[in-house]
Structure 1
Amino acid sequence: MAIRVKGSTTGAISDAQGMYSINAPEGSVLIFSFIGYNTKEVTVGGQSVINVSLDVAQAQLEQVVVIGYGTAQKRDLTGSIVSIKGSEVADKPSANPITSLQGRVAGLTIVNNGRMNTDPDIRIRGTNTINGVKPIFVVDGIINDNINFINPADIASMEILKDPSSLAIFGVRGANGVIIISTKKAAAGQTAINFNSTVGIKKVTDRIKLTDAAQFKTLFDEQLANQGNPAYDYTNWQANTNWQDQIFQDGVLNYNNLSISNATDKNKFYAGMGYTTEQGLIKHEKLQKITINLNNELQVSKALKFGVNFSGYRALLPVTKDVGGAINAAPIAPVYNEEYGLYHTLPSFQRAQVFNPMYDVELRKGIARNLEYRAVGSVFGELKLMRDLTFRASFFVDYGFNVNRSYTPLITFYNPEINPPRDSVTKLTSVSQEQNIYTKVQSDYLLTYKRSFGHHNITALGGFTTYYNSYEKTSSTVQQQKGRPIPNDHRFWYANGNIGDATTLRGDGRAWDMATLSYLVRALYGYKNKYLLNASYRLDGSNAFQAIGNQWQRFAAAGVAWVASEEDYLKDVSWLQYLKFKGSYGVLGNQNVGDRRYPAYPSLTGANSGIFGDNIVVALQPEYFVDPDLHWETARSWEAGFELTTLGNRLRAEVNYYNKLTKDILVIIPATGLSGGVGEMKNAGTVSNKGFELMLNWADKVGEHWSYNISGNLTTIKNKVEALNRKGFNIIDGPSWTQEGYPIGYFHGYIHDGIYQTQEEIMKSPVNELGEVKPGDIKYRDVNGDGKINADDRTIIGNPTPDFTYGITATVSYKQLDFGIEGQGVYGNEIFRSWGNISTFAQMNYPLYRMDRWHGVGTSNWEPILHTGRGNNTYNSTYNIEDGSYFRIRNVQLGYTFSRKQLDRIGLQSLRLFANAQNVKTFKRNSGYTPEFAGGSTSFGVDNGSYPLPAIYSFGVNVNF
């Protein structure tokens, strides 16, 4: 048991028998606490012995969580809100804290990306629409679409809202889920200075397996022979280059954070500052970022309170590179020619399409300067009108300003096949310049009524909120003046006619703005802490549909819960501490439809021109016609489940079934013969997502010094497009199709049914109408059984949405030592591999699996013959499909927290050292760098040789003065 004097640093720890000794003056307050039990406070009188007994805690139930426009105790909720403490992600190095939630929350799917400054792909309870699927963020009250400006060390808590009863209060923004982030505030009665620092290294652990020079020559020679072409002359191409080794590096990262807080009865002040430097996995990629977080709260009187928050951000963004060149470049090409001091060109069979990978890495290093600035601030005033009635007015502003400048240098390669051997790739220098500004302004005016009387508890909220956001961008380019290259110095990277050729100066720009006005009400009611009701309603008005008079939409939800364990006949059941049954239903909205911000205001596009005499008049027509009933998308969502705490509070479980039907999805219906070639925008789509969520947690203490915790979660996902205008209508994005009756973004193609071994087998097989086939070609399945292979035999060949996702976390501590491990994975999804395929435009390096190609009867029944002219082998098929299931050891951490006795010697309040390993090992079956691939709503899970996800090994320190 821990004992400390309230408002001071004096403390003690009891022994196994509960004995303790502490110096506490009369009138002071002792705080007694222990894991799994309720904290108790006792005022010291004249006694010399104070005995206390602690009640078993219902910590998860009494926990206060942040909900939309307020807070509530978790026990009073009727839906599924998961709260994550900031301390749980603060010591896991990541510039974006959301990445650390991967595998931690049921219903939350996160696809991480190893590329710096790239947001993870986040989906809550599936892919809800063919348009935007990203949830919104609410940071200290302001609604946002990203959290790049937040320092992970300044986060106090994150709440993930998934169910309709908690999301309906967000109206037209709630359908895709909400992540609420609260930053740290000063704790009452103390001054604290905290410093934490992490230093680490990031590595590429899983590389794509490609042929080396000898293997490449074997396959290329065989391919040329198969095609009847002469052998290639390798005289100038005798290298054996591993291009992945050339471009990759072990990147170093360093995160430093300092915070100071002070609190009195009247004033609470917190200041945090962070500085981050991080190198990428490809040479010369580097991120530098500075963050500032300030907040102050002043209690003017018992009835009046004011507060201010500010978050500032400045980042010098990395010039990120791609890995495609290293995958495609032939290994027979040398890297560099020492005699001429030039990087080597690639062989003629790929020179026009593929550059030496060092072109991007070395020759174009430092050719861009991209700066991001962000200032997010808010002020609020809170007035207690009566004992139970509070009015709060808040005003928020988010201002972002980005400046991007890039330079195209003169670049020359060494080419041994020309004389002199200098091959100029770029002959003119040029400069591109871009600036963009985005602004968000939000104001909330809320009345909150909170009262308990008898067995009744009620919290009611009402008010209105406004939101305005805008964006504007200008860009320009200029080329060099004749004979006067623009210097490769960022002081000259400005698009103007003095530095460059004024006749080549070009400019462009765009802008948009949106505004909403919303009215909202919500009521939380509880009777005897066992019968709970949650109801909310929101009326959203938007200028996006003002032209057709549909600017108002209504959203609402209701949730009920029964805390069965509060019933008299269950209170004495020794093994049952808590049991709640819950359910909710709501209508949610989605205005996150990508770049189509004004659906009722179609853009103008070119149409047939008219000729009047000698004049040609250019005609314009709307991009589409507008359905007069057009409105934002809506989702009918419901869930049902239960929460259980049992076995002496050791075991906690939560099970939910969710069912979300997104209706009125915005779709552009193709033109018919009567529409003059112009389609129509309608609410014509429906997508369903349903499944189960299971969360389990076991916590216990063994003896005096040992404690452990094991938790796990599992989410099933069943996604289906229920309607999309009409049967047969589909949205095609490469191999990804979205069509009624199938999962959204499913992979469409032929089924690989083996390799034709002989001409006799071809004659006995269904007739291939796709083109001529010969032995060694892929044999496709006759799906419809009509004896022919044609486009009608294409079908679903893979689903990028997994059957289920899961995560597991285990921690154990002994005295001051703690150890934790996290794992996460997905099962049942497929990946479409788009790299390593046959190209008719250039010869690329071969994936190593092509060594198993067909080169005679019986040599292979999967890998086709080496031949770029066999068009039959280039169709999308299960040949491109790989298993996307994987399990990853996500995080391993070992930490040591110094004891009070040790700290007294060095004059610190607390000190913790920790070592951390992220992405230690991924057990996967695909051939790419990683098994997880982000994307849009209708195209995801496609592996195009994406950027690797690194393993990160780090060491950190966290100290309080």
Structure 2
Amino acid sequence: MKKYLLLGLSLILGASLWAQERTITGTVTDAETGESVPGANVVVKGTTNGTITDFDGKYQISVGSDAVLVFTFVGYSPSEVEVGNRSVVNVGLNLDVEELAEVVVVGYGSQQKKEITSSVVALDEKEFNKGNINDPTQLLQGKVPGLSVYNKGGDPNSTSTIRLRGISTVGANTEPLVVIDGVIGASLQNVDPNDIESINVLKDGSAAAIYGSRGSSGVILVTTKKGKRGGGVTANYNGYVAAATILNEQPVMSASEYLAAGGNDLGAQTDWQDEVTRTGVSNVHNIAISGGAENTTFRLSTNFRDINGILDKSGFDQINARANISHYALNDKLKINFNMSLTNRKSNYSFNEALRYAALYNPTAPVRFDNGEFFQAVLFDNFNPKAILEQNINDGKKKELNFNIMAEYNITDALSFTVNYGQQYDNTLNGEFYPSTSFFRGLNRTGLARRYTEDGRFSLVEGYGTYSAKFSSVDMTVSAGYSYQENFREGLLLELGNFPTDDLGYYGIDLSGNRVLGLASNVNVDSWATPDEKIIAFFGRANFTIDDAIFLNASVRREGSTKLGVDNQWGIFPALGAGVDLNKYLALTGVDILKLRVGYGVTGSLPPASGYSKQGVGYGFNEGGAFSVTRDANPDLKWEEKTEINLGVDFGLMSKLTGSVDVYTRNVSDFLQLFTPEASGGGNTTPYWNNIGSLTTNGAEISLNYDAVTTPDLTWTTGVVASSYKSTLDDFIVDIPTVVGNLGAPGQNSTFMIRVAEGEDIGQIWGPVYDYVDENGAPVMKDLNGDGEIVADQGSALAENGDFEVLGNGLPALELGWTNQVTYKNWDFNAFFRGAFGHSLVNTYRAFYEPIDPGAINSYNRIKSDKAVDGLTVSQFSSLYVERADFFKLDNVTVGYNFDMSNSSAFKSIRLYANIQNAFVITNYSGIDPEPVLQDRGALDNGARFDPANQNVLAPGIDRRYNYFTARTFTFGVNIGF
């Protein structure tokens, strides 16, 4: 407020004030080196009168009497100088030691940013994505080079698919390890995005090796917000309301177009996609209280989320509470930190199948009969989408609790010891009910109910010591420790039918007639419990800094796991890293940072569950009951191992441009997967888990940030991250090519679209090439090998004389993120663009529903696109349905206003903002969402349940019919500080 008062006074005094002004010139330099500092801010204290230094560090400014000049620049401490009677004011700025010594959290400790030799990206709250963020991984989307985060369609009840530097494993855990406040493997769903202070991503093997068998897919370190010592008590409220609308609908025929194409007229005009979707209105409220005295700090927060998706009845209600208490004792030698978080979520999963049937259901069919009952035609694979949503139930509850207590004791100034104990519990209870009137499910079973429950418990105990010393020009830090992890899960599934009434839903599952009548196959009872999955590890690390410019790091972890064969339970995971600050020795003009670094690391992966080294047994009730082997034992099951070499350069130029470039190569050997031997000569065909192959990934990443404008009133910072990689299958247990990714029913079962072969790229979409339509309306494929015979049936996909070729690749060749942050006085503006290029998608909607079959058009609507072929009546997979899906989108744009609360005793800050997610998309893909599909979940027709263990990372690029529709979301929010 003071600056505005002074500005108003200057306007009133007018000529008399201007008469006292004079021009001041000078040069701003680095106080230590004497080099000029271009782009430094020079402002008359208490006013908006300012300028910046030119390329040579020179400036010129008009000032009044008794003026005080304030000099500021990134990386330097501010300097205030009284002008007095001088006409020339030269200033030397001192380096801001705290800023240059920025500390970055790494595994089991922290390092100064300049000393890091591995590929690590650190983001804080101001750099996160904005808007309606319900999944913490969305904070990082497009912000970290090499990190792919995709939630295709944006189903509020699904989590994002995350990949760090492409495919890191095939059958083990494909997503990065999450560490929250030091707790390994903590759940990201149990931390609210509003409570996160910073996220660090350990990308390469040399950074992640300290976490051993769980770090193969990278590591995401989350630090939550905490109170500050001596800061008093403060409170903050963050809240917003969001409205999600459909970005794209499937392009289907209208009722009139359908009738013109020969469709059956049922007398109505219904927009089925409109019937099953809505404007999803959500609201989020976060309240946090934090404070700190001399010896104790605390932060308590509560988060309420009422989230509604664009598919009717999809969404969740959630409450999350988090507490952090830190206490300092024994003259600050002892620090104790306690964290606890509790999440209670109630979800309505709805039915994504309603979106699929909304695209193909007859547009002239009414929603209901005149008597009020839902209209339903008795046809194969054809269900009233509105009835699916209204008649059936698919909901659930999940509770998560985690806590940890960490104590750090400084025995001396050089020696400290840290212990960490944590536990995490989760409970899931889901229910489904399909009444006897549901054609979708339940009709043929006189009602159908499912109840599913699962409990999990995870425990962690760790301790490590750290010793630091300085010898002449060498700084040394050495750490060594022990880790114990234990995980246990148990669950129960009940599925029964034949109910005397639908009124009780799944709560009446005990009334099922299947308990006393009917086939045993109509009763599904499944219960399970894992063995206690244990990991024990010993680890150590040494960091050396020589001459404050040469950095050496080394770590090793020896780890054992009960998931592996008894002779292969222990593994060793080493890492080495080196870096040098070249600019200290080259002293290049205009160069602030020039650091070269190289890292090598080994990490591992474990099977997704315990017991895979042992035999699996099942029991069948046929013929009086009998046991059978469902999975063969493999006592030789061992670690999947990843070795990675990373070369990187960090640079800063003219105090304006900073960035990094990384290139890497990594090899995954002995990767894990469930393998089924082929029958030959009466041999065994029972599946078993095995180490079955190896793959190599090569990639490059770049990150650039540029302070384009830095004036007192206006700033503009822009940044670009880009990454590219390619993965090759080097070795496979099956030495001949195979195909995966079944297109599915109706009519295209055993149509596999992805080629998997030794020595070839992963993600190849494989199929015949469309040529023309014959007189019967069937597609004719090209004779690719020129032998005069067209062999394009699916059974010949890998035949020597087959006419098949690579039609595209499901993995993007380039991923791009572009951030722009602008401030103008009290306004702030953030625009984030994102793109992916080089990937293709199989548009399964077109493959099934685009050809106009004269017989089927009487009952099923059709997709329409500019890629449709006139006269084509037969559906057969080919190049016709494989489309390049390059896209560039304005992913997130925010405008905010910060009110001046300097004269308010009640509020410290108030900020209002508006945000749009998915503002626009530029693409030639004719489907509803061009984002890559990094793994396949299978066909999943007619409401079949999805098993997360069936994710196939070797089959990317299939745009399935059950995908959630993409939304554009408008958000209005307020941040208030008290």
The TM-score with structure 2 as length reference comes to 0.82
Contact 2:415-2:467 within 8 A present in 1 as well: yes
Contact 1:911-1:957 within 8 A present in 2 as well: yes
Distance 2:971 2:928 in 1: 22
Matched, 1:637 2:644: yes
**Over residues 113-144 of structure 1, what are the superposed CA-to-partner deviations in whole Å (9 max), with x where a residue is unaligned?**
31012111100001123223211111111122
**Over residues 193-246 of structure 1, what are the superposed CA-to-partner deviations in whole Å (9 max), with x where a residue is unaligned?**
11110111011121111111222233346xxxxxxxxxx6x3xx1222221111
**Over residues 905-930 of structure 1, what are the superposed CA-to-partner deviations in whole Å (9 max), with x where a residue is unaligned?**
36311111111111111112222221
Matched, 1:845 2:861: yes
Distance 2:913 2:765 in 1: 44
Q: Flag the 1:120–1:206 CA change in 2: closer, same or farther, 3 A.
A: same
Distance 2:103 2:573 in 1: 26
Contact 2:613-2:637 within 8 A present in 1 as well: yes
Alignment map for 1:87-106 (pairs within 5 Å): 87-89=126-128, 91-106=130-145
Q: Flag the 1:706–1:461 CA change in 2: closer, same or farther, 3 A.
A: same
Matched, 1:956 2:970: no
Secondary structure of the 1:37 match is: coil
Matching residue of 1:554: 572
Letter in structure 2 aligned against 1:267: T
Offset of 1:16 from its aligned partner? 5.4
Q: Flag the 1:405–1:33 CA change in 2: closer, same or farther, 3 A.
A: farther
Secondary structure of the 1:904 match is: coil
Distance 1:353 1:19 in 2: 74
Secondary structure of the 1:353 match is: coil
With 283-292 and 616-625 compared, the bigger mean Cα shift is at: 616-625
Distance 1:272 1:413 in 2: 46
> Which of 110, 113, 133 is the equivalent residue of 1:74?
113
Letter in structure 2 aligned against 1:644: F
> Which of 599, 617, 622 is the equivalent residue of 1:604?
617
Matching residue of 2:920: 921
Alignment map for 1:792-941 (pairs within 5 Å): 792-838=802-848, 843-849=859-865, 852-855=868-871, 865-867=872-874, 873-874=875-876, 876-899=877-900, 902-905=901-904, 907-932=906-931, 933-935=933-935, 936=951, 937-941=953-957
> Which of 375, 381, 386 is the equivalent residue of 1:344?
375
Contact 2:241-2:283 within 8 A present in 1 as well: yes
Q: Flag the 1:809–1:403 CA change in 2: closer, same or farther, 3 A.
A: same
Contact 1:298-1:305 within 8 A present in 2 as well: yes
> Which of 340, 352, 357 is the equivalent residue of 1:310?
340
Contact 1:91-1:956 within 8 A present in 2 as well: no
Matching residue of 2:210: 169
Contact 1:188-1:268 within 8 A present in 2 as well: yes
Offset of 1:97 from its aligned partner? 2.0
Distance 1:239 1:920 in 2: 34
Q: Flag the 1:605–1:501 CA change in 2: closer, same or farther, 3 A.
A: closer
Offset of 1:680 from its aligned partner? 6.1
Matching residue of 2:727: 719
> Which of 573, 581, 584 is the equivalent residue of 2:596?
581
**Over residues 26-49 of structure 1, what are the superposed CA-to-partner deviations in whole Å (9 max), with x where a residue is unaligned?**
xxxxxx99561344699xxxxxxx
With 439-448 and 328-337 compared, the bigger mean Cα shift is at: 328-337
Offset of 1:564 from its aligned partner? 0.4
- Identity among equivalent pairs (%): 24
> Which of 656, 660, 665 is the equivalent residue of 1:654?
660
Offset of 1:61 from its aligned partner? 5.1
Secondary structure of the 1:630 match is: coil
Letter in structure 2 aligned against 1:604: V
Offset of 1:886 from its aligned partner? 0.6
Matching residue of 1:771: none
Matching residue of 2:947: none
Alignment map for 1:269-280 (pairs within 5 Å): 269-280=298-309
Matching residue of 1:130: 170
Matched, 1:397 2:426: no
Matched, 1:329 2:361: yes
Matched, 1:84 2:123: yes
Aligned-residue CA RMSD (Å):
3.1
Q: Flag the 1:848–1:15 CA change in 2: closer, same or farther, 3 A.
A: closer
Matching residue of 1:444: 462
Matching residue of 1:522: 541
Distance 1:677 1:368 in 2: 37
Secondary structure of the 2:641 match is: strand
Distance 1:608 1:259 in 2: 57
Matched, 1:320 2:350: yes
Matching residue of 1:244: 273
Distance 1:854 1:584 in 2: 57
With 514-523 and 108-117 compared, the bigger mean Cα shift is at: 108-117
Distance 1:395 1:921 in 2: 47
Distance 2:426 2:687 in 1: 36
Matching residue of 1:299: 328
Contact 2:205-2:218 within 8 A present in 1 as well: no
Letter in structure 2 aligned against 1:211: M
Alignment map for 1:103-502 (pairs within 5 Å): 103-113=142-152, 114-131=154-171, 132-144=173-185, 146-190=187-231, 191-220=233-262, 234=265, 237-301=266-330, 302-322=332-352, 323-337=355-369, 339-346=370-377, 351-364=379-392, 367-411=393-437, 425=443, 428-479=446-497, 484-488=500-504, 493=507, 495-497=509-511
Letter in structure 2 aligned against 1:690: N
Q: Flag the 1:412–1:907 CA change in 2: closer, same or farther, 3 A.
A: closer
Contact 1:903-1:911 within 8 A present in 2 as well: no
Distance 1:408 1:629 in 2: 45
Distance 2:918 2:705 in 1: 23
Letter in structure 1 aligned against 2:910: L
Q: What is the number of equivalent residue pairs in this alignment?
A: 856
Contact 2:810-2:934 within 8 A present in 1 as well: no
Matching residue of 1:786: 787
- What are structure 1's unaligned runs of at least 5 residues? 4-13, 22-31, 43-50, 222-231, 415-422, 610-614, 758-773, 856-864, 868-872
Matched, 1:737 2:755: yes
Contact 1:36-1:56 within 8 A present in 2 as well: no
Contact 1:916-1:955 within 8 A present in 2 as well: yes
With 76-85 and 933-942 compared, the bigger mean Cα shift is at: 933-942
Offset of 1:478 from its aligned partner? 4.3
- What are structure 2's unaligned runs of at least 5 residues? 4-39, 48-69, 81-89, 743-752, 797-801, 936-950
Offset of 1:838 from its aligned partner? 4.2
The TM-score with structure 1 as length reference comes to 0.84
Matching residue of 2:53: none
Secondary structure of the 2:663 match is: strand
**Over residues 418-467 of structure 1, what are the superposed CA-to-partner deviations in whole Å (9 max), with x where a residue is unaligned?**
xxxxx994673444322210111111111111233432122211111011
Contact 1:823-1:889 within 8 A present in 2 as well: yes
Contact 2:778-2:873 within 8 A present in 1 as well: no
**Over residues 549-595 of structure 1, what are the superposed CA-to-partner deviations in whole Å (9 max), with x where a residue is unaligned?**
2110111110111110111xx33x3301110011111111112x44x
Offset of 1:687 from its aligned partner? 1.1
Secondary structure of the 1:948 match is: coil
Secondary structure of the 1:118 match is: coil
Matching residue of 1:942: 958
Distance 1:412 1:520 in 2: 57
With 368-377 and 690-699 compared, the bigger mean Cα shift is at: 368-377
Q: Flag the 1:837–1:904 CA change in 2: closer, same or farther, 3 A.
A: same
Offset of 1:897 from its aligned partner? 1.3
Secondary structure of the 2:317 match is: strand
Distance 2:878 2:494 in 1: 43
Contact 1:409-1:488 within 8 A present in 2 as well: no
Distance 1:782 1:605 in 2: 48
